[in-house]
Amino acid sequence: MKIKLNKKNIADKIYGCWIGKNIGGTMGGPYEGKKEINDISGFTSPKGEPLPNDDLDLQLVWLKAMETVGPKDVTANVLAEYWLCYVSPHWSEYGIGKSNINMGLLPPLCGEFNNIWKNSNGAWIRSEIWACLAPGIPNIAVKYAVMDASVDHGLAEGTYAEMFTASLESMAFFESDIRVLVEKALTFIPETCRVARAVRLVLASFDKGLPWQETRELIVEDSKDLGWFQAPGNIAFVVLGLLYGGGDFKQTLIHTINCGDDTDCTGATVGSILGIINGASQIPEDWKEYIGDRIITVCINKGSHHTVPDTCAELTQRVVDALPKVMNAYNIDLEFVDGESEINSEEASEILKGYVEEIFARSPYSFEVPDLLHTSTVVEYEKEPQVKPGDTFKVKVTLKNIGHDPRHFEVNVYLPEGWTAEYNRTCYLHHENRGDEPPAVDSWEMTITVGEITAPINRIPVMFSSPAHALPIMIPIVLLG
C-alpha cells in the first residue's frame, strides 16, 4: 500500500492535536471531579502557564518507547516495562497496574487482576499518540491502543474507551464530519459494552433535539451504577461536546467541561480531536496565545537519560519524524508531498484486519509471550491467578507458527515443591506457514494442583524447546498465594 501525506498539512494537524490537548486540559483541570454542572466561559489559570496533565505526559513515554524500541517491537510487555521505569504516580489504576506487573503479571492480566479501576479513564486520555502515528489507518492506532490500555485496564471498559478514541482520532485526519467519526469509531468496540451504550444514548438524545443539559443528566443516570470517574460516562461527555458544539472549538470545550466529572480529560480530548480535524491554524488565536507552546509534566520520572519534548512544536516534529518508520513496519510506502494527501480507505481497512476480533475473543486473564522468530504464544488462565492449598488451576497455551517449518516441541514444567501438574510432554505445530494461508495453530493445556504450601508469589516456568531451534519459548506462569 502507498499513501501520500502533505507534510505541512499533516504537521499542522498533529500540532493542532497537542495544542488542543493542552488547551482543553488546562481549561478543564480546575473543575476536575465536580459532580454538578459547571458554568465556565474560558480559562481560570494564569496566562502563559499550561497546567501539567498526565493525559499528555504518558504519551511522551510511549513516544520514547516507539523511538527507542521501534514500531515493530513495541508490545504490551514493552510498554509495561516503560510504565515501571518512567511513570511515577501510584494512584488508582496506574498504581494497581504497576503493583501487578511487579508481581510478575503481564498485560492484559496486570490490568485486569484485582483492579477496581479497570473501567476508569486512565487509558483513553492517552490515545492521541497512536492516532498521530497512524493517520487515516485506524486499525494500527487501535492495535497500539489495546497494548497501551491493557497495561492498567486489562480488557475492560477502560480499554474499549481507548479503542474508541484512538480509532476516531486516526480517522479525523481525513474525515471532518463528527457524526460519521462517532459512528465509525463505534465499529471498533463491542456492541454490548458500556462505552458503546453511553455513546448511543448521546446520539439518540441529540437526534431527538434534547438540550445538552438533559442529555448530560441522562448520561449521569445511565452510568450511576458504575460510579464517578468511569470511562463510559466521560466518553459520552466527549461525544456530547463534539455534537452540541457544532464544530466550534470554544463552544465544544465549554459544553464538554460544563458536564463535569473528569473535566481535564474530557476537555483535553475534544480539544485534540478538533485540533486534528481543523489543524492548529484554525484554533482560536486568543486561546493559543493564552496557553502558549510549553509542555509542563507532572508524572514522568525523567531519570535514566529519559528525554521528553519540552514544547508542542518539538513533540510534533518528533512524531512527524517517526511516521515513516511506523508506516514501513506495516509495509506501507509513505511519501511526503507538497500537494494533496492521498490514502485509499479500503486498502487502509485491510491492514491488521481481524485484529480487533482476535482481541475480543481472548480471556482477560491472558498474556502474550515475546515472539521468537518462529512462534507466537498466548497464555490464558481459566480465572484470576490467586490460589490456596489444594486448589486446581488450568492454563492454556496457544502457539501459532510464524516461521516456515513444521515443528515438534518438548515441554518441561518447573513446579514449586509439593505441587503437581498434568500436561502433555510434547506439542506439535504440524503445518508449515506457507504465507498464503492461515498459520498453523496448536494448543497445549495444563492442570496444576497446588501443594500444601504457597508463597505470596509462586512462579512456574514452562519451557517449550524444539530440536530445530536454538532458543526455547519460556513462559512465566505466576500464581499468587
Answer yes or no: do 344 and 389 share one domain. no
Express each pLDDT in 429-473 by its tens digit. Answer: 876 556 566 677 889 999 999 999 999 999 999 999 988 888 899
Q: Are 157 and 121 in contact (CB under 8 A)?
A: no
Express each pLDDT in 170-192 by its tens digit. Answer: 999 999 999 999 999 999 999 99
Total domain count, the chain: 2
Answer yes or no: do 338 and 434 share one domain. no
Answer yes or no: do 58 and 137 share one domain. yes
Instruction: Indicate the length of the chain as a whole number.
Output: 481
User: Last residue of a domain, which of 317, 350, 383?
Assistant: 350
Answer yes or no: do 200 and 342 share one domain. yes
Q: Are 21 and 266 in contact (CB under 8 A)?
A: no
Q: Is 358 within a domain?
A: no
**CATH number of residue 199's parent domain:** 1.10.4080.10
pLDDT bracket for residue 303 (50, 70, 90): low
pLDDT tops 70 at residue 304: no
SS3 of 78, please? helix
Answer yes or no: do 79 and 224 share one domain. yes
Mode of pairing for the β-strands spanning 333-337 and 2-6: parallel
Express each pLDDT in 234-252 by its tens digit. Answer: 999 999 999 999 999 999 9
DSSP assignment letter at 319: H
Cell of 309: 519534548
Q: Are 109 and 123 in contact (CB under 8 A)?
A: no
Express each pLDDT in 368-410 by its tens digit. Answer: 987 777 888 999 999 999 999 999 999 999 998 887 778 889 9
Percent of residues, the chain, with pLDDT higher than 90: 83
Q: How many CB atoms are closer than 10 A to CB 419?
A: 20
pLDDT bracket for residue 292 (50, 70, 90): very high
User: Last residue of a domain, which of 295, 323, 350?
Assistant: 350
Domain of residue 409, residue span: 365-480
Q: How many CB atoms are closer than 10 A to CB 389?
A: 13
Q: Is 138 within a domain?
A: yes
Q: Is 71 within a domain?
A: yes
Answer yes or no: do 253 and 388 share one domain. no
Answer yes or no: do 299 and 434 share one domain. no
pLDDT tops 80 at residue 30: yes
User: Last residue of a domain, which of 350, 378, 409?
Assistant: 350
Q: Is 359 within a domain?
A: no
Answer yes or no: do 380 and 273 share one domain. no
What span, in angstroms and rounded, lies between the C-alpha atoms of 128 and 108? 21
Q: What is the pTM of this model?
A: 0.95
> Would you state the pLDDT for residue 469?
83
DSSP assignment letter at 375: E
Cross-strand pairs, 120: 230
Cell of 133: 502515528
Q: Is 355 within a domain?
A: no
Express each pLDDT in 101-154 by its tens digit. Answer: 999 999 999 999 999 999 999 999 999 999 999 999 999 999 999 999 999 999
Answer yes or no: do 257 and 370 share one domain. no
Q: Is 356 within a domain?
A: no
**CATH number of residue 400's parent domain:** 2.60.40.1230
Going by C-alpha positions, the residue among 249, 64, 234 that lies closest to residue 164 is: 234
Alpha helices by DSSP H, listed for 208-354, are: 212-222, 231-244, 249-258, 263-278, 285-291, 312-329, 345-350
Q: What's the one-letter identity of residue 91? A: W
Answer yes or no: do 346 and 410 share one domain. no
Q: Is 360 within a domain?
A: no
